[in-house]
Structure 1
Amino acid sequence: MTQAPEAVRDGCIFCAIVAQRAEASMVYEDDITVVFMDINPATPGHLLVVPRRHAVGLEDLDGETSVHVWSVGHQMARAVRRSGLRCDGINLFVADGTVAFQEVLHFHLHVIPRFAGDGFVIQADWKARDRLLLDADAEALRGALLRGTD
């Protein structure tokens, strides 16, 4: 099951892990994804679901791989809850682009066990948005959907 990916990027640590040229604490593998422990976890049990084929971000993933990554993420979240590791909740998190805090430019889904006082925070300047602006944003997004997703 550990076939080499068709698209491997030199210098990509996740491609090196997929190709077994770098160490990782592997949890799960199939023909499309690998799952391993994050070396710098937000909390104990923090996992990364990584497609074998190199893709920088969401826009670079084909639909089948995207669906599979999220399905495996769901399986991993269930496993974390059943594992005995401290887990009162789960965050599934994707950072798509450096401005969104993506550090490794190979798409990955974080599965992060959560518990009160774990130190992981997501902060934003949450503000209500005017309905006319929301409607304009919705129109732009509907137009993008009509232009296709793949």
Structure 2
Amino acid sequence: MKINRMESETAYAIMDASEKLSIALKSLFKPDGIRICQDGGKFNDLTHYHMHLIPRYEGDGFIWGEPLHPHGAEKRLSQTQKKILKTLSEEKRRSR
């Protein structure tokens, strides 16, 4: 069996990006925590690397699937994307 190995430079870039995105999510949505997960091997059904950063709230009833308490987030994806990109840009300017 061949094992695909990610290059160190790529792995570090992914962790750097997840840290920046976590900061943006915490700033925007004030979660109690962030769940970071990535599936590999048989469990990677998209056939490419991807990572999930999920804002978590105490008592949110998080399950991997549809939320217990629908909140319409899927209808606000483009707005959420714009907010995250704006926050990342602001964080980048502050860190210079």
Q: TM-score with structure 2 length normalisation? A: 0.55
1:82 counterpart letter in structure 2: S
1:119 counterpart letter in structure 2: G
Counterpart secondary structure, 2:4: helix
Q: Give the whole-Å Cα distance in 2 for the aligned partners of 1:73 and 1:62.
A: 17
Q: Give the whole-Å Cα distance in 2 for the aligned partners of 1:92 and 1:59.
A: 21
Q: Give the whole-Å Cα distance in 2 for the aligned partners of 1:68 and 1:82.
A: 21
- Bigger share in strand: 1
Aligned to 1:102: 44
- Bigger share in helix: 2
Over the residues paired in the alignment, what is the CA RMSD in angstroms? 2.2
Aligned to 1:64: 9
Aligned to 1:90: 34
Aligned length: 62
Counterpart secondary structure, 1:111: strand
Consecutive unaligned residues of structure 1, counting only runs of 5 or more, are: 1-57, 123-150
Give the percent of matched residue pairs that are identical in Structure 1 and Structure 2.
29
2:40 counterpart letter in structure 1: D
Q: Give the whole-Å Cα distance in 2 for the aligned partners of 1:59 and 1:109.
A: 17
Return structure 1 stretches of 4+ with deviation > 6 angstroms: none
Deviations 1:42-63 (A, max 9, x none): xxxxxxxxxxxxxxxx934211
1:69 counterpart letter in structure 2: I
> Quick check: 1:116 aligned with 2:58?
yes
Deviations 1:14-40 (A, max 9, x none): xxxxxxxxxxxxxxxxxxxxxxxxxxx
Greater RCO, CA 8 A, separation 6+: 2
Aligned-pair CA distance for 1:86: 5.0
Q: Give the whole-Å Cα distance in 2 for the aligned partners of 1:120 and 1:78.
A: 21
* Residue pairs, 1:1-150, within 5 angstroms: 59-83=4-28, 85-98=29-42, 101-121=43-63
1:90 counterpart letter in structure 2: I
